[in-house]
Structure 1
């Protein structure tokens, strides 16, 4: 039995990574790809995990199962662009610039926000929703109402609070810039409702 060369090892690893990448991009299960390629699901699982060595006859069947060419299966996976590319949204006097990708609904999302100097009057009924909000003021003074308490948050100060408490934020005088982290419920409330 011969030892694998470094080149064989890197091709094997590349195909395994590419196989998993293409399968998940297409939303396919191991079982679906196994059925399409006529490869046993346990064999496919071991191929992806590196517990089984890739054979040449696997390549065309896997490529066909994933609707790609064999060359596409052999090439290195694309390097993901780490930059977050999303446009801003303005809602009720607050502009939100996303700083994180919009991933699973259960995830936290970070934003740079700018609160208009005209946003000074809280609504008659303060919103309440599931979750936790966090803000760090970069410039200006932020007015934060939590239940019966009224706070002024200055640059360099951070706040974290349960959104089960009736709450609202606005500007004291000039526009406010801050970093904010919202859970999915807070993100929906701040970006899509009153």
Structure 2
């Protein structure tokens, strides 16, 4: 039977391993390759289906560019609050609702669409991804290709961003929650 202290160290290293790997945006394959460990072994180490061997520590630490001591230390207690300044672009203010970490590449925002954003541009953007919006207040105008929609509070929309699209207001400001893939985030916030 394993001693309680050994179980604690194993659990701590598993959590720390996953934390460091995801912070660096590395896949299991990448870490396994750099550590010269089979990817299935690494997956079982992270999931707790395999016990950590001492010879794994230096190789995993090197693969993650940390010291062995850093791999053994307890993960920092993360502040769960999302902090980030709002950004305004083209009449839409975006407040981040997710960290920039691994949320499957998705980023959530609370958005406020200015009442002045009422006239669509001559050309609508097209890009990789999927966008999703839930209207909290106001009436959102959404143009998808040749179709023109009015989205009311309590309604949600989801659409492929390969369809030419634009959103604005009908008759006053709109507040909504939006989820964009990384391509959509870049387009909406940095275009």
TM-score category by the smaller chain?
0.7 to 0.9
Question: Greater Rg, structure 1 or structure 2?
Answer: 1
For 2:127 and 2:58, how far apart are their aligned partners in 1? 50
1:6 aligns with 2:4: yes
For 2:32 and 2:113, how far apart are their aligned partners in 1? 48
Q: Is the 8 A contact 1:23 1:33 kept in 2?
A: no
CA displacement, residues 54-106 of structure 1 (integer Å, 9 cap, x when unaligned): 56xx7x978x9666585x55542222222222211100000011112224696
1:53 offset after TM fit, Å?
6.0
Aligned length: 180
Q: Is the 8 A contact 1:23 1:29 kept in 2?
A: yes
For 1:184 and 1:170, how far apart are their aligned partners in 2? 21
1:80 aligns with 2:63: no
Of residues 92, 95, 109, the one that matches 1:94 is: 92
1:23 offset after TM fit, Å?
6.9
Q: Where has structure 1 moved over 3 Å in runs of 4 or more?
A: 15-34, 45-55, 64-70, 72-75, 103-106
User: Structure 1 162/11 Cα, relative in aligned 2: closer, same or farther at 3 Å?
Assistant: closer
Q: Which residue of 1 aligns with 2:117?
A: 119
Range that drifts further, 74-83 or 123-132: 74-83
Q: Is the 8 A contact 1:105 1:184 kept in 2?
A: no
Structure 2 counterpart SS, 1:80: coil
1:171 aligns with 2:166: no
1:148 offset after TM fit, Å?
2.0
- Structure 2, unaligned stretches of length 5 or more? none
For 2:21 and 2:117, how far apart are their aligned partners in 1? 48
CA displacement, residues 137-181 of structure 1 (integer Å, 9 cap, x when unaligned): 100111111222222111111112222222111111211000111
What TM-score results when the alignment is normalised by the length of structure 1? 0.72
Q: Is the 8 A contact 2:132 2:157 kept in 1?
A: yes
Aligned Cα root-mean-square deviation (Å): 3.4
